[in-house]
Amino acid sequence: MPKIAVLPGDGIGPEIVAEAVKVLKTIEEISGVHFEIDEYLVGGVAIDETGNPLPAETLEACLESDAVLLGAVGGPKWDDLPGNLRPEKALLGLRKELQLFSNLRPVKTYDSLISASTLKPEVIQGVDLLVIRELTGGIYFGEKSTEITENGIKVTDSLTYTEKEIERIVRLGFETAMKRRKKLTSVDKANVLESSRVWRKVVEKVAADYPEVELSHMLVDNCAMQLVRYPKQFDVIVTENMFGDILSDEAAMLTGSIGMLPSASIGTEKVAMYEPIHGSAPDIAGQGLANPLATILSVAMMLKYSFNLNQESEQIEQAVQKVLDAGYRTKDLATTESKIVSTKEMGELVIQAMKDE
Ligand SMILES: NC(=O)C1=CN([C@@H]2O[C@H](COP(=O)(O)OP(=O)(O)OC[C@H]3O[C@@H](n4cnc5c(N)ncnc54)[C@H](O)[C@@H]3O)[C@@H](O)[C@H]2O)C=CC1
Ligand SMILES: CC(C)CC(=O)C(=O)O
Ligand SMILES: [Mg+2]
């Protein structure tokens, strides 16, 4: 039986994951596929209970699973802890230990949400792009140091990539573009960073194996602007860790809310991790305001990528579309015409729509 480790985490994590797990259980009911689903501690709650943001039991369970479903970690309660003891360290640790070097963040606009966006309809209608973010290298994982100097604190975060790390993510970018509209934008900051200049060279080298792919290089600051100016120019974007983190939060707003964007982190081992792109949203935690759709859509990605259950995956995506078409919205997406629902009600509506299909 496929094993799924569920890590609700902090803030809105438990609320959104509860709805996503109900969706998984509905898939079991409808399709007859069975999963072994077990919950583990991660992040701030794990610090509170065990003193460790990533307890050994959680890491071992994830390593033995076929897939991990994660809510989010972090919050003000733990903000004053040193970097290596913070909840976010658990997330970085999981990504590294599970060797999840790629993070796929699809951005697809829904026609029924166009009025929820602050951008013009003609700019966002029909957007269908995929950000492929390198996930286990770069500045989030580089050496750090802090020292006291005559000018006060001197602090360093270093950004390191090996050619091998760049090549495997770039190759994935080309392979993925081949299965889509054959357009790849490699995003870097090659006018300033050595790492980006090597990144570009590797992209050029790999490009020789994919003559059918239309390749372009774009500087990250321009990309941030182009994403809101004319997002339909993009098919697949491949980029390094921090640029991908930032650009995908920006791209989320093409859909109307950061609560809409799922993600899949896939690596060299069999286990993959699925999580919404947003954080633990402490400002709305515990109030039933969180949009659970990014997490529910992450389950759809899990069924497709980890279990090859394509029909079941589509069933979830269609149910989400149906609920949105019917005008139901959590508060993050609400307009004057919306039927505003809570996190739990949104989960129930998706489940009902799945059962009605
Ligand atoms: N994957 C993870 O576990 C991540 C964790 N974090 C952590 O989360 C905490 C909060 O970080 P923020 O910068 O505030 O980012 P955030 O993504 O948690 O929230 C940013 C804004 O978006 C809203 N939002 C986020 N998800 C939403 C949802 N599903 N439905 C409705 N509204 C939603 C929040 O209410 C907030 O106003 C920090 O401790 C941060 O380190 C941040 C990003 C990713
Ligand atoms: C701890 C951070 C790197 C998490 C984050 O912002 C993300 O993965 O999107
Ligand atoms: Mg982020």
The encoded tokens of residue 114 equal: 């166009």
- Residue whose Cα lies nearest atom 6 of ligand 2: it is 245
Q: Is the CB of 40 under 6 A from ligand 2?
A: no
The string of DSSP codes covering 201-262 is: HHHHHHHTT-TTSEEEEEEHHHHHHHHHH-GGG-SEEEE-HHHHHHHHHHHHTTTT-GGG--
Query: What is the reported pLDDT for 234?
Result: 98
ipTM topping 0.90: yes
- Residue whose Cα lies nearest atom 7 of ligand 2: it is 245
CA 28 from centre of chain: 24
Query: What is the reported pLDDT for 118?
Result: 87
DSSP helix/strand/coil, 152: strand
Provide the whole-model pTM: 0.98
Per the residue annotation, which of 48, 66, 128, 249 is the catalytic one?
249
Q: How far is the CA of 332 from the centre of ligand 2 (A)?
A: 20
Q: What is the mean pLDDT of the chain?
A: 97
249 is catalytic: yes
Give the domain ranges of the chain: 1-103+258-357, 118-255
Question: Which CATH fold would you assign to the domain 118-255?
Answer: Isopropylmalate Dehydrogenase (3.40.718)
Judge whether 46 is annotated as a binding position: no
Q: Which residues line ligand 1 (CB under 6 A)?
A: 12, 16, 72-75, 88, 91, 258-259, 275, 278-284, 290-291, 294, 332
209 is catalytic: no
66 is catalytic: no
Judge whether 353 is annotated as a binding position: no
Do residues 299 and 260 touch, judged by C-beta distance below 8 A?
Answer: no
188-212 tens-digit pLDDT: 999 999 999 999 999 999 999 999 9
Which residue type sits at 106? P
Per the residue annotation, which of 110, 140, 210, 274 is the catalytic one?
140
Q: How far is the CA of 280 from the centre of ligand 1 (A)?
A: 5
Pocket test for ligand 1, best of 69, 92, 273, 278 (most atoms within 8 A of CB): 278
Q: Which among 338, 305, 341 is positioned nearest to 106, based on CA atoms?
A: 305
Predicted confidence pLDDT, tens digits, the chain (357 residues): 999 999 999 999 999 999 999 999 999 999 899 999 999 999 999 999 999 999 999 999 999 999 999 999 999 999 999 988 999 999 999 999 999 999 999 999 999 999 888 899 999 999 999 999 999 999 999 999 999 999 999 999 999 999 999 999 999 999 999 999 999 999 999 999 999 999 999 999 999 999 999 999 999 999 999 999 999 999 999 999 999 999 999 999 999 999 999 999 999 889 999 999 999 999 999 999 999 999 999 999 999 999 999 999 999 999 999 999 999 999 999 988 899 999 999 999 999 999 998
Per the residue annotation, which of 221, 230, 270, 339 is the catalytic one?
221
Q: Which among 8, 19, 35, 6 is positioned nearest to 307, based on CA atoms?
A: 35
Domains 1-103+258-357 and 118-255 share a fold: yes
Architecture of domain 1-103+258-357: 3-Layer(aba) Sandwich (3.40)
Q: How far is the CA of 6 from the centre of ligand 2 (A)?
A: 18
